[in-house]
Amino acid sequence: MIMTTTLKTAFGGGLRVTLAAALLACSSVAALAATELKIGHGHSEQHSFHLALEKFAELLEEKAPGTFDVSIFANAQLGSEREMQEQLTFGGLEMTVTGVLGIYEPKLALMELPFLFRDRDHVLAAQHSEPVTNLVADLPSKGLRLVGFLENGFRNITNSVRPINAPGDVNGLKIRTPENQAQIETFRALGAQPTPMPFSELYAALRQGVVDGQENPLQNIHDGKLYEAQAHLALTGHIYNSAYVVVSEAFFQGLPADAQEALLAAADEAGEWQLYYMAERDGELLQMLRDEGMEVSEPDKDAFLEATAPAYDVFYQQYGDEARDFVTAIQGL
């Protein structure tokens, strides 16, 4: 009996030790399992968006070591901007960079009214302001969360028909715009025929003559090789355009609080890094476009500011005092 009891005790102790070791091993594996974070965007791996997302991944690892397994997919591998946005809402993708977030929050077009921003410091102040925070407050209810901004930049006009030296030179041109009301209304005010389409379709549309021209920041003109189909570049700087760094709200809510904080902080820091990186590159990009043979003009921006003013009236009629108050608040920063 004594021997049997001793054996049972020893056997039971062995089971407890084995079970404890197994539980410890399982918890160690769980701790090592990083959360998958797939990020899609529509530009090349040389584009500043991609560089900023690589910076974001580095910062995220510093702030939350081992928490995330980040994969970045460039060149619209995962779809157009619109398609990647939609994937966020049903769990097909965790994060994207988009310029068409206005599909989910149309009032974001107010951020892209012509000549709204004085300079990049003004842009940064606006991005961190209460009016902008309020503007995107309803996005989580639609399955998306804005976590940061990347600079697209000050937009300029290119075309294959004629130099642009004054607003009247834009009249009648068929100009591709993003699927964004602010750009559409700006070019209607200039007498052009705005033709919305995804950036991924733009190069072919220019080569085939579907549109006469387009408007984009210098980095997109160069990165997209649009100079191969466009002879004329006008430095109008008519709209400062941010791209929006957006995550799936379901994904975000599934993260612990410390991981959420790390993601938000990393996105903010990467965005500010990219903005100043692009400020330093503007002159270099302009020279590269000249070297590719583009003819560059520098129109009077005051004339374009006056000519595009009717774009504001469209939004004031649509949103009333809310739009006026937003514009006044941003201009007053």
Q: What is the pLDDT along the chain (333 residues), one digit of tens a residue?
A: 333 333 333 334 433 344 444 444 443 333 458 999 999 999 999 999 999 999 999 999 999 999 999 999 999 999 999 999 999 999 899 999 998 898 999 999 999 999 999 999 999 999 999 999 999 999 999 999 999 999 999 999 999 999 999 999 999 999 999 888 899 999 999 999 999 998 889 999 999 999 999 999 999 999 999 999 999 999 999 999 899 999 999 999 999 999 999 999 999 999 999 999 999 999 999 999 999 999 999 999 999 999 999 999 999 999 999 999 999 999 999
Residue 28 in domain: no
CATH of the domain at 272: 3.40.190.170
pLDDT digits (tens, 9 = 90+) for 150-195: 999 999 999 999 999 999 999 999 999 988 889 999 999 999 999 9
Overall domain count for the chain: 1
Residue 175 in domain: yes
Residue 312 in domain: yes
Cα separation, 135 vs 152, in Å, equals 20
Residue 27 in domain: no
Domain extent for 178: 33-331
Residue 19 in domain: no
pLDDT of residue 231: 98
Q: What is the DSSP string of 196-257?
A: E--GGGHHHHHHTTSSSEEEE-HHHHHHTTGGGT--EEE-----EEEEEEEEEHHHHHTS-H
pLDDT of residue 32: 55
Residue 98 in domain: yes
Residue 277 in domain: yes
Query: Torsions phi, psi of 198, nearest 5?
Result: -65, 150
Residue 246 in domain: yes
